[in-house]
Structure 1
């Protein structure tokens, strides 16, 4: 019984931050164009994580793109600027995106 409770507690501890960051992505309307594991209007978060894997400055690069928008990296549809996202939120979102594998 103790082992089961520990396993459940560990699972919740790991899932809670991931869900909190997905909740942030949802609240900032990121999920309207992106999904974790499939392309919508923009690339999946897993594809973004794979593209930027191993790049030391990836969180900062993505945070800037989240705030300012961008174009040409993933095709002809531009990503609009997200003025409702502050720098701390953008870095949190970028770190979460890069953790998707």
Structure 2
């Protein structure tokens, strides 16, 4: 009885910790996006000057090359990918590590 209670408690703790980390990841992603200047053109749910990140995430869901392609896109910028405005180059203005984190955050939004 005591052993099963401990296992159940441990499982519940891990589940709650995972939910707390997911919320922190969302908040940390939003904060990094704001700090990096991304929110001037993008939002998570609505198209602005650039595409909504939910749309980006859905488009690239399951694409093994998505992260590398999006990291390169954020580094170099360009036009024509979404038939919207010009994506400015964010390297070296935003550190490579932060660009990786932002792309991971964006790709994690697909449901």
Same fold (TM over 0.5): yes
User: Which of 78, 88, 103 is equivalent to 1:94?
Assistant: 103
- 1:76 Cα shift? 4.2
Runs of at least 5 residues in structure 1 that lack an aligned partner in the other structure: none
Partner-residue secondary structure (3-state), 2:100 = helix
> Is contact 1:67-1:86 (8 Å) kept?
no
TM-score (norm 2): 0.78
Match of 1:17 in 2: 25
Match of residue 86 from structure 2: 78
Q: Separation in 2 of the partners of 1:38 and 1:19?
A: 18
Cα drift, residue 10 of structure 1: 4.6
CA distance in 1, matches of 2:44, 2:84: 21
Which structure has the greater CA radius of gyration?
2
List structure 1 segments (4+ residues) > 6 angstroms apart after TM superposition: none
